[in-house]
Amino acid sequence: MTVPPNYSVPPEYPPPPPGGGGFGYGGQPPQPEGPKNRNWLIGGIVIGTTAVLLGSILIVALLVNRGGDGDQDSATGEESESASAEEDPTDEETTPAEEETTEAEYESEIGLCLSYDPDIVGDGLETVDCSDSTAFWEITNQSYDISGSVDSEGNLTDNQVAYDLCGEEYGASPLGEAWTNWQYVYSSGALDSMYCIEAVGNPDPENSDRTPYTPTDGDCFDDDPDKWWTVDCGSSTAVYKVVGHVDIDEPRELSTDEAGDEATCGGGYYWQVTDVEGRTTSIICGDEL
């Protein structure tokens, strides 16, 4: 058996959709440029606060310097300062409530869905209801309190942070099962949030004949070199059909020759299915349609 000509090896991880900007996927594909540094916002707040304070000083100075009204102005000034002091506790009391609301919103994202190519919203991703026609991924777990970093290309420096949140199984591509993956938003080299996701089974938005399942015995697939789509065997885009497979009990990196020795499942061709670490977890054998 031989590998089909002009057909690259399968993806390293459950097929990720194209990158959208400022976030990453499992399997470490090339990542888009991260979001802009948010320090400008902090600087703007500091400058704005300074302007308000200077304005307050100016008002007090004008009131004190007005002739003939010193006592009334002083009282007015004291009254203004007292009013400001009374407002401060109110502001402090509302802050925890706002934080609790925000945390509740974060928690509520579990069970919601993402589109095939979601947009960034703040430190996270834009969600949709899973009944929405654009829903592609369901969020199975999620965190905005995540410790991890990315390299200069936006890839995770250590996948363990994803395994800890999502589970070791999210790093593999079981045959016949829906894609699983993780996505993350990062800035300044550090993670802002991470999402554990599983495909809901809706087809490729650009080709309704393709569904997000790793093909198994009896399934057909196309010649997409990057993604493991299962394709309707009656579709004009179907190219190969799986006739058998071999599970590798102890996943490991295999050379082409070593994989050929393991590929005892028939058919004219074979492919290695690997996990996020590049270890072969199974081999599928197939024929061209």
State pLDDT tens for residues 9-50. Answer: 333 333 333 332 355 655 433 222 222 222 322 222 222 333
Residue 3, pLDDT above cutoff 50: no
What's the pLDDT at 226? 85
User: Do the Cβ atoms of 259 and 3 come closer than 8 Å?
Assistant: no
CA 153 to the chain's CA centroid = 15
List the domain boundaries for the chain: 23-35+112-288, 39-106
Each residue of 276-287: pLDDT tens digit?
999 999 999 999
What is the arithmetic mean of pLDDT over 51-80? Answer: 40
Q: Please, what is the angle between helix 39-65 and helix 70-107, to 10°?
A: 160
Structural contact between residues 114 and 128, judged by C-beta atoms closer than 8 angstroms: yes
Which pLDDT score, from 0 to 100, does residue 141 have?
96
pLDDT at 15: 35
State the pLDDT at residue 31: 27
pLDDT confidence bin for 225, thresholds 50/70/90: confident
- pTM for the model stands at 0.65
Q: How many CA atoms lie within 13 A of 131 on its CB side?
A: 0
Residue 51 has pLDDT above 90, yes or no: no
User: Any residues with CB less than 8 A from the CB of 274 and at least 6 apart, and which?
Assistant: 9, 10, 11, 12, 13, 173, 280, 281
Q: Is 1 exposed, middle or buried (0-12, 13-18, 19+ CB in 10 A)?
A: middle
What pLDDT digit, counting tens, does each position of 82-125 carry? 334 444 444 444 444 444 435 555 567 999 999 999 999 999 99
- CA-based radius of gyration for the chain: 28
- Give the pLDDT confidence score for residue 108 in this predicted structure: 78
Q: How many helices (H) and strands (E) does the chain have?
A: 4, 13
> pLDDT tens digits for 126-184?
999 999 999 999 999 999 999 999 999 999 999 999 999 999 999 899 999 999 999 99
289 touches 222 (CB < 8 A): no
Predicted confidence band of residue 251 (pLDDT cuts 50, 70, 90): very high
